[in-house]
Chains A and B, each alone.
Chain A
Amino acid sequence: MSTAVDMPRFVRAKQVDALPPPNLARGPIAWVRENLFSGPFNTILTLVVFYLLYVTVPPLVKFLFIDAVWSGSDRAACRADSGGSEAGACWAFIFDKINYFIYGSYTISERWRVNIFFALLAIGVAWLLWLKAPRRDLGAVYFFWIFPVLSYILLTGGNADLGARFWLGFAIFAALVIALFAFAAAILKTSMRPALIMGGGIVAVIGITLALVDIDFGLAHVPTSLWGGILVTLLVATVGIVVSLPFGIVLALGRRSKLPIVRMASVIFIEFVRGVPLITVLIMANTMLPLFLPGDITVDRLLRPLIGTALFASAYMAEVVRGGLQAMPKGQYEGAMSLGLNYPQMMTLIILPQALRIVIPGIVNTFIGLFKDTSLVAIVGIFDLVKTIEASRIDPAWAAPTIGITGYAFAALFYFVFCFGMSRYSLGVERRLAAGQKR
């Protein structure tokens, strides 16, 4: 049957000549041709990029390393030579001030305490971030309870000297808490033992914390006004993560709650905090917090931005955790409920362990943001790393044109090392978690 289609237009009548073999498929030259000079447009692009690199990289290397001044004890070393050659980065300035950049004005004889704080922090972070570490549950207890208490004692000196009246009050409070739990158990007609253990546990945790803070370990008191530098930067970041993770989880659960008022309160808090810049929150903490407290209570100047950043980070953390909660298949909730677990059991035993695991990358990314944001406390007058650099920059003993750039280069390097390391970690976890999802 003949078709109406004009065949010759569609079917090739003649054999096509074979294409020439690809001239070089391997080797560095082929790679360069393929990746850098594959066409006129690409060639121009490559040349432009090479030019840009030529303009930026050699002067940068020259400034940071070749012309840099590595030793010296005052500005004379870092001023341009009389011979006319320009002085580069003044690393001598960093070496001279490094103790100030790390500890601020912390009492010199007591700085070993700060070093122990750094070590404790490193242990806690490593314990929690290393996914195969033994007893990560104990790690959480360490990081969210033991470590903060120890740090507080180490850094301030402890010895809060609460007094007998306080302890009498605490004893009454403890009795009330335990009685409340016992009463609840009696009304609900459940067994008394778990209720008493729970009440006793809460009282014990608070009591031990207070007792540790109260005991005089013989450490000299170091007022927070002396703290500074990397110590404060890490402190703000640590307090941020220690507070924001639990508080963020509570807010996320609140936002997913079926109870309308709980949900509304969480949503208002989260959206409010996420809608305003951190600096306004810090200024608010600085100016309004003292107003809201009774006149005779003063809030430590370092504590105010700590509260501000912690609340700020909590809202962001809540959104990350909510993402994890929403990603849980409904079957997990239903399975837990059909096993007869109540809400706290369902959350702590089934949902949260899985949900938190899948949002580890998100948590780390939020933490990177928090870590960078700690630099903002400098604006409200806290001596973090940026502020100590600001203060040293104008030191007349080191008055030289390159001091400012060197100081900020140092700060940039410090933040970059931490943030880049964390982002690599989060990428690694992401890949590992994705590997489990692959079929």
Chain B
Amino acid sequence: MQTVVSQTSPPQKSFLYDPKVRGIFYQVVLVAAIVFLFYVAATNAIENLQRAKIASGFGFLNNTAGFDISQTLIQFSAAGGTYGDAFIVGLLNTLLVSVIGIFFTTILGFTIGIARLSKNWMVAKVAMVYVEVLRNIPLLVQLLFWYIAVLGTLPQPRNSLEMGAGFYLNSRGLFMAKPLYASDAWVLLAALVVGLVGTFVYRHWARKQQEQTGRQYPVGKVTLALVIGLPILTWIVLALVGANPISFELPRKGTFNLTGGMQILPEFVALLLGLVTYTAAFIAEVVRAGILAVSKGQSEAAGSLGLTPGQTLRLVVIPQAMRVIVPPLTSQYLNLTKNSSLAVAIGYPDLVQVFMGTVLNQTGQAIEVVVITMGVYLTISLLTSFIMNVYNRRVAIVER
């Protein structure tokens, strides 16, 4: 007990001046306020739900839906489908339009972004006008425009526009040949997979070789041959043998309607067009900023090392620009996915339209439906930003 060390006592002041005490006090107040808010909301909700005789819980997902959905990627019928099935149909439709939209908007956005930097005055100005106009008009107005103004003026099914190669266009959408897979179609898929794996292995090997010996191998041509050439070759071989892995069912023109083939809803086309053109304007700006962020000295240095302009772009400018481009590009992809919820305005059966619209109205279970729908979007967002962070850590410049 003799280890008590006498300290010089600190200057006397109220413990209320201690930042730690104050911090704890503020946080306790905040927690109390939040808890109180949630408590009031929860008790009111329970009371209101009881008064309105609305069931709660997620049991409704197993109830029969009783409505039809115009575009379903899985088997779904009004009689047999449950609300849970409707949720999956809506989710798949959202993912479908997002994935296809991301694919096309990337191509369009990069094209326009590079066009804005073109030395050709005409091209640069047209790209600029495109970006300014599309960026400054709300997506909803654009979607309604595409849907009502453009697709609404298409002819009736009996006067379908024939576009050749089995494509027909009318007010019910775009009709095209539907591929029918025979039982031996898996061979083609296998060829594609082999091609992809082969490409991956070859690229890896080519890079190793280049790092060791400095010799360059024709990566692009080999990739093309493996990914596209191999499946086509397989197909030809199969056709020569007599097997027919994929046949096409063409839409046939009847008296009043087209039968057979594959139908793409006009809502889908309008949504896709709107999302792709709108997001491309933003991606163009991202790409432009990324390329401008690579300092001129980099390309000059590359030129003085003897790289051709093509090599400079491919090996020096783009890898560095990508570092700047990718994070905002991902957030544009996320925006596209979130904006696909505007489908509800034109009636494309996406997650929000099916689940937050029809299912919510039929069941009245607002809390569960809203929680599930928001959860889906939140999961997509958080997952993407997690992957993004990992990628960022990989490509970030290591600073000393």
A386 and B140 alpha carbons, distance in the complex (Å): 9
Distance between B333 CB and nearest chain A CB, rounded to angstroms: 14
* Chain B residues near A200 (CB-CB < 8 A): none
Answer yes or no: A145 CB below 8 A from chain B CBs.
Answer: no
CB of A261 within 8 A of CB of B31, answer yes
Distance between B148 CB and nearest chain A CB, rounded to angstroms: 5
CB of A295 within 8 A of CB of B51, answer yes
Contact of A284 among B41, B126, B339, B374 (CB under 8 A): B374
Answer yes or no: A187 CB below 8 A from chain B CBs.
Answer: yes
* Chain B residues near A35 (CB-CB < 8 A): 119-122
Classify chain A's interface size.
35 or more
Contact of B122 among A36, A258, A271, A373 (CB under 8 A): A36
Answer yes or no: A276 CB below 8 A from chain B CBs.
Answer: yes
Interface residues of B in 341-380 (CB under 8 A from A): 341-342, 344-345, 352, 356, 360, 366-367, 370, 373-374, 377-378, 380
Answer yes or no: B138 CB below 8 A from chain A CBs.
Answer: yes
Interface residues of A in 280-327 (CB under 8 A from B): 280, 283-284, 287-288, 290-295
CB of A50 within 8 A of CB of B138, answer no
Answer yes or no: B14 CB below 8 A from chain A CBs.
Answer: yes
A46 and B149 alpha carbons, distance in the complex (Å): 30
Contact of B48 among A258, A261, A279, A295 (CB under 8 A): A295
Answer yes or no: B381 CB below 8 A from chain A CBs.
Answer: yes
A67 and B140 alpha carbons, distance in the complex (Å): 27
CB of A375 within 8 A of CB of B138, answer yes
Q: For A408, give the chain B residue with the smallest CB separation.
A: B145
Q: For A385, give the chain B residue with the smallest CB separation.
A: B141
Distance between A168 CB and nearest chain B CB, rounded to angstroms: 24
CB of A288 within 8 A of CB of B342, answer no
CB of A49 within 8 A of CB of B122, answer yes
Contact of A46 among B17, B122, B366 (CB under 8 A): B122
* Chain A residues near B213 (CB-CB < 8 A): none
A408 and B346 alpha carbons, distance in the complex (Å): 14
Distance between B41 CB and nearest chain A CB, rounded to angstroms: 4
User: Interface code A375-398, partner B: CB below 8 Å = 1, 0 otherwise?
Assistant: 110110000001000100100000
CB of B338 within 8 A of CB of A188, answer no
Answer yes or no: B139 CB below 8 A from chain A CBs.
Answer: yes
Answer yes or no: B107 CB below 8 A from chain A CBs.
Answer: no
Answer yes or no: B200 CB below 8 A from chain A CBs.
Answer: no
Given contacts A284-B374, A386-B140, A415-B137, contact A277 B153 (CB under 8 A): no
* Chain A residues near B370 (CB-CB < 8 A): 280, 283-284, 287-288
Chain A residues in the interface with B (C-beta under 8 A): 35-36, 38, 42, 45-46, 49-50, 52-53, 187-189, 258-262, 265, 271-272, 274-280, 283-284, 287-288, 290-295, 368, 372-373, 375-376, 378-379, 386, 390, 393, 401, 404-405, 408, 411-412, 415-416, 419-420, 423
Known: A276-B381, A379-B345; 17 extra A-B contacts, CB below 8 A, are A45-B118, A261-B27, A277-B341, A279-B341, A279-B342, A280-B356, A284-B374, A287-B366, A292-B40, A294-B47, A372-B136, A378-B140, A404-B149, A411-B141, A412-B142, A416-B133, A419-B135
| 15 cross-chain CB contacts under 8 A | A36-B122, A46-B123, A50-B122, A265-B30, A274-B381, A276-B338, A279-B341, A280-B373, A283-B356, A287-B366, A288-B367, A288-B370, A291-B367, A368-B136, A415-B141
